[in-house]
Amino acid sequence: MDKKKMKFELYLIAVVGLLVVGILYLIYLNPDDVIYYNSLQKIQFEKYGDYHFELVDGSEGHWATISSIKLIDNDTIEVNFNDNDYKINTKEGVVIYAVPKFEYTTTVTKGKTFISTCHGESAPSFLNYMGIVQIEGKYYYQFYHNSGVLLPDGMTCKFPEIIKHSLDANLDLSGYFVPIPPVQTSGKYYKNPDVIVDVPYPCDVLECENAN
């Protein structure tokens, strides 16, 4: 065989091999091609959870990875997530888990369940957006918080992909809601849950991004 032809074929094989490896490498790094979070639908939630009330005016910091919330319309909010330096510590102050640096913004509709953070490498925490409520003249975004069993198959939390895929999974927390107990919010303890009033049409009283 002609030596030049042999060298060319070897060169071609090498180039094709490098291209294949490069493509596989890019696919591996592309979070949109990671589909294993579809197994989130197998998650079993804890029997009991609790309610979170986040001030609409943003005068207080939001919980976990939620950086800011905007009211888009009566049933939709825009949520910006980032790490917020969120860590899980032991009583001695030793960090046992920290959310890595990231940022992600998306819309969430009323009734939607999503992963808001993780409290361990494979231990997600969920929020269900329930709408706007009013408590003694102040308006709050109401969420129901629940934790689930560990992610299946040894999977670990990867941000922001786990948030995105949890929204795509159409998770249902509705069967796990519990009656609202006495709650504490904005540094005040409310013994009577009747002070929490649903606001079904918040755009009638609050400024919405999609208001005409």
pLDDT digits (tens, 9 = 90+) for 22-70: 444 443 444 444 555 666 777 888 888 899 999 999 888 899 999 999 9
pLDDT at 26: 40
Residues of the chain predicted below pLDDT 70: 1-39, 212
Is residue 173 within 8 A of residue 144, CB to CB? The reply is: yes
Amino acid at 35: I
Reading the block at residue 76, the tokens are 């939709």
Backbone angles phi, psi at 83, to 5 degrees: -65, -30
**So what's the pLDDT on residue 127?**
95
Check: CB of residue 124 under 8 Å from CB of residue 151. yes
Kindly state the tokens that stand for 3. 């030596």
Question: What integer pLDDT is reported at residue 19 of this predicted model?
Answer: 52
In which element (H, E) is residue 21 found? helix 3-29
Domain locations along the chain: 1-33, 37-204
Q: Which two tokens stand for residue 108?
A: 């969430």
Tokens 């490069």, residue located? 22
Q: Map residue 30 onto helix, strand or coil.
A: coil
Residue 132 pairs with which residues in a beta bridge?
141, 199
What CA–CA distance (Å, rounded) separates 173 from 129? 10
Predicted TM-score (pTM) of this structure: 0.81
Q: What's the confidence (pLDDT) of residue 84? A: 94
Q: What was the pLDDT predicted at 173? A: 86
Q: How far apart are CA 167 and CA 41, in angstroms?
A: 11
